[in-house]
């Protein structure tokens, strides 16, 4: 029960409030609001005023508004200020008041609390956290004037009671500021976010309170400050630093350590904020050093484009780029030349995990009126959970113009607010947008000789054609200007297609081997079974036949410049996957087979100037792999 000077009964205050002063008295040293002395003093000044003496604390979530009120309760215990001596600080729970199990309405209970506060004005100060909730709370019907806000206004206007409120900046403007009469009755006190140095001082004090015998070295505290500032972007100082400290202490306690280490802090950042460990540790990363050769081994025929991408990322890692916004690329070129594959391989080689690849097919967001919010919700949700990733926006030109406007903010500011008002960090993303715009210009340029391509005037004309193509497809100049780099992907050559087919066959072979079968297609491997194959012929049914790698055949038959590399998969399925998959199914059914190796090649004359289509066909042999590798 609250101790009162005039013995006025307080049944409703006893039932629906928490005694902050009593809680603080049990351990006063625990309730210091460090670096907030000026705010606490400002509240005391407000409480001593004759008019408008109801302080309202407004600030970002996590800046310590509630801690300031608890520190005020601590100072009121021993205050020498006559008008504040004996003041008791309590907290009203609006949630408990909303419960209807006692048969009383919210309005009745809230009015009773106001009456008890008025009767005990000299001894009681009420604190209402999230005070914006009083606007509309308790109204019987929508638009009713009988809500908590209107109940409290008369008492505040007459200075009949003292209340301290607290709310976030966003909710103050959304609820309280809209009710001008209510806002005028409060004394607004802004609570800014603590600076880095202020939070560092607070952290050193809090570490002594939370450690429970576990040492937190100063170097670890510095690490907490640096990592919380760098990676926890949806919270504010001092809360985010204190939360990271608390989490690191728990990790150390779980491992029975006597002191917190840097690795304990990194564990929380890695687990809770999905930041790769190598990024946290800031070690020399072999992934970046080996990025270009790895990309070239996976994306064929686009060496110039890959070199530009790798160099841009290297510049960023070296600290020479603007890190306040994400690195962004627009991949231009014909369909099926490796734009999407490059984005996938970037994610795998930089982050080492498929989960760090976020893809959106922008054709799904082309409808006006419905696409913007749907895209924003999906985008912010996925990026919030995976802030370090490659974000692929495939066929960006198909998106609704409002979606493009949203992306302007992402490209420029590196952040976006979700539906709950949380600021989502985009600055650590690699944003890749793909487009088929300008494909005609790229293909026309490819048909020219090398001397024409290298001519500076022709190159300038080509770049102008690309920009015209982008603008004709709906890309506004301000959007183009915010893209970090426009990368042009060239038309694939036949030699490139052969290498791509070999790469795909190699991956297919890896899958077949898991089922006990081998696919032989490489020239040197085929020559193990057919010794003359590397000379370009073999004997078939007693006759000498021209023999070629199957990769050459598939590239010739499957490659369509207008469709790029995509038809190749169907061609591989027809000539390679189909016979192998049939054998795998038979093996699973227990049907005996006397072979485990397929040898693929093409027999006959390949295409030439006199015979553009050639006269050749696929031949496949099967063999049971012998221990001595006998040839067939």
Residue 539 confidence (pLDDT): 92
Residue 631 confidence (pLDDT): 39
Q: Taking residues 419-439, report their average pLDDT.
A: 89
Tell me the helix, strand and coil percentages in the chain, rounded to 5.
50, 15, 35
Q: Where does the pLDDT of residue 143 fall: very low under 50, low under 70, confident under 90, or very high at 90 and above?
A: very low
Q: Could you report the per-residue pLDDT of 308-352, keeping only the tens digit for each?
A: 999 999 998 888 888 889 999 999 999 999 999 999 999 988 887
Q: Could you report the per-residue pLDDT of 262-279, keeping only the tens digit for each?
A: 999 999 998 888 787 777
Q: Taking residues 617-627, report their average pLDDT.
A: 85
Is residue 448 over pLDDT 90? no
Of 491, 488, 452, 443, which Cα lies nearest the Cα of 467?
488
Give the DSSP H/E element, type plus range, for residue 333. Answer: none
Contact 148, 163 (CB under 8 A): no
| Domain architecture of the chain: domains with CATH | 11-190 (3.40.50.300), 196-281 (1.10.8.60), 286-488 (3.40.50.300), 494-623 (1.10.8.60)
Residue 146 confidence (pLDDT): 65
130: left (phi over 0), alpha (psi -120 to 50) or beta: left
**Residue 77 dihedral angles phi and psi, to the nearest 5°:** -60, -45
User: Which residue has tokens 């506004």?
Assistant: 476
Contact 342, 299 (CB under 8 A): yes
- Residues sharing a CB contact under 8 Å with residue 479, sequence separation 6 or more, in sequence order: 404, 407, 408, 411
* DSSP letter, residue 330: E
Sequential DSSP letters for 143-207 = T-S-SHHHHHHHHHHTT-S-EEEEEEHHHIIIIITT-HHHHHTSEEEE-PPPPHHHHHHHHHHHH
Of 568, 508, 519, 562, which Cα lies nearest the Cα of 300?
568
Half-sphere exposure of residue 10: CA atoms within 13 angstroms, side-chain side? 28
Is residue 144 over pLDDT 80? no
Q: Which of 131-145, 148-162, 406-420, 439-453 has the lowest mean pLDDT?
A: 131-145
Global pTM reads 0.69
Is residue 408 over pLDDT 50? yes
Residue 287 confidence (pLDDT): 74
Compute the distance between CA of residue 72 and CA of residue 133 in angstroms, rounded to an integer.
23
Burial 368-382 (b: 16+ CB within 10 A, else e): eeebbeebbeebbeb
Q: Could you report the per-residue pLDDT of 93-142, keeping only the tens digit for each?
A: 888 888 777 778 888 899 999 999 999 999 999 999 999 998 877 655 44
Report residue 460 as tokens: 């300038």
Strands 163-168 and 55-59, how do they pair?
Answer: parallel
Beta-carbon count within 10 A of 120 CB: 23
Secondary structure (3-state) at 609:
coil
Residue 212 confidence (pLDDT): 87
Report residue 463 as tokens: 């770049």
């Amino acid at each position: 029960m609250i101790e009162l000077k005039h013995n006025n009964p307080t049944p409703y205050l006893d039932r629906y409030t928490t005694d902050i002063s009593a809680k603080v008295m049990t351990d006063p040293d625990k309730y210091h609001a460090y670096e907030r002395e000026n705010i606490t003093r400002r509240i005391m000044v407000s409480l001593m005023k004759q008019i408008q003496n109801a302080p309202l604390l407004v600030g970002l979530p996590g800046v310590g508004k509630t801690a300031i009120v608890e520190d005020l309760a601590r100072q009121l215990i021993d205050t020498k200020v006559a008008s504040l001596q004996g003041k008791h600080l309590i907290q009203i729970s609006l949630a408990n008041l909303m419960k209807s199990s006692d048969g009383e309405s919210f309005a009745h209970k809230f009015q009773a609390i106001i009456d008890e506060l008025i009767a005990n004005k000299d001894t009681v100060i009420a604190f209402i956290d999230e005070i914006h909730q009083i606007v509309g709370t308790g109204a019987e019907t929508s638009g009713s004037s009988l809500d908590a806000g209107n109940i409290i206004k008369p008492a505040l206007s007459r200075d009949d009671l003292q209340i301290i409120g607290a709310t976030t900046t966003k909710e103050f403007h959304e609820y309280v500021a809209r009710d001008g009469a209510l806002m005028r009755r409060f004394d607004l006190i802004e609570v800014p976010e603590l600076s880095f140095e202020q939070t560092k001082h607070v952290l050193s004090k809090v570490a002594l309170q939370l450690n429970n015998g576990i040492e937190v070295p100063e170097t670890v505290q510095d690490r907490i400050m640096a990592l919380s500032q760098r990676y926890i972007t949806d919270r504010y100082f001092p809360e985010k630093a204190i939360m990271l400290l608390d989490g690191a202490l728990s990790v150390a306690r779980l491992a029975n350590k006597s002191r917190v280490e840097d690795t304990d802090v990194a564990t929380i950042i890695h687990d809770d904020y999905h930041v790769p460990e190598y990024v946290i540790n800031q070690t020399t990363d072999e992934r970046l050093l080996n990025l270009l050769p790895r990309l070239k081994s996976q994306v064929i025929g686009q060496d110039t484009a890959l070199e530009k991408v790798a160099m841009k990322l290297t510049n960023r890692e070296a600290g020479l780029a603007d890190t306040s916004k994400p690195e962004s690329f627009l991949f231009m070129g014909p369909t099926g030349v490796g734009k999407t594959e490059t984005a996938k391989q970037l994610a795998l080689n930089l982050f080492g995990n498929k989960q760090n690849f976020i893809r959106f097919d922008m054709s799904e967001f082309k409808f006006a009126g419905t696409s913007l919010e749907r895209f924003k919700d999906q985008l912010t949700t996925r990026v919030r959970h995976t802030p370090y990733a490659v974000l692929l926006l495939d066929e960006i030109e198909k998106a609704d113009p409002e979606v493009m406007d949203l992306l302007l903010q992402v490209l420029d500011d590196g952040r976006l607010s979700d539906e709950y008002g949380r600021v989502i960090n985009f600055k650590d993303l690699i944003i890749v947008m793909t487009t088929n715009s300008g494909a005609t210009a790229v293909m026309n340029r490819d048909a020219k000789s090398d001397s024409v391509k290298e001519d500076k005037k022709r190159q300038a004309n080509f770049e102008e054609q690309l920009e015209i193509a982008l603008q004709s497809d709906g890309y506004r100049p301000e959007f183009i200007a915010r893209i970090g780099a426009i990368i042009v992907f060239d038309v694939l050559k036949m030699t490139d297609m052969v290498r791509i087919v070999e790469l795909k066959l190699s991956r297919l072979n890896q899958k077949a081997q898991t089922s006990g079968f081998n696919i032989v297609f490489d020239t040197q491997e085929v020559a193990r079974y057919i010794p003359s194959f590397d000379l370009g012929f073999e004997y078939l049914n007693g006759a000498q036949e021209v023999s070629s790698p199957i990769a050459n055949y598939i590239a010739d038959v499957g490659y369509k410049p207008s469709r790029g590399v995509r038809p190749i998969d169907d061609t591989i399925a027809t000539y390679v996957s189909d016979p192998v998959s049939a054998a795998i199914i038979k093996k699973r059914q227990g049907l005996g087979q006397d072979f485990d190796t397929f040898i693929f090649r093409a027999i006959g004359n390949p295409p030439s100037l006199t015979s553009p289509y050639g006269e050749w066909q696929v031949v496949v042999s099967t063999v049971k792999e012998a221990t001595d590798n006998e040839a067939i």
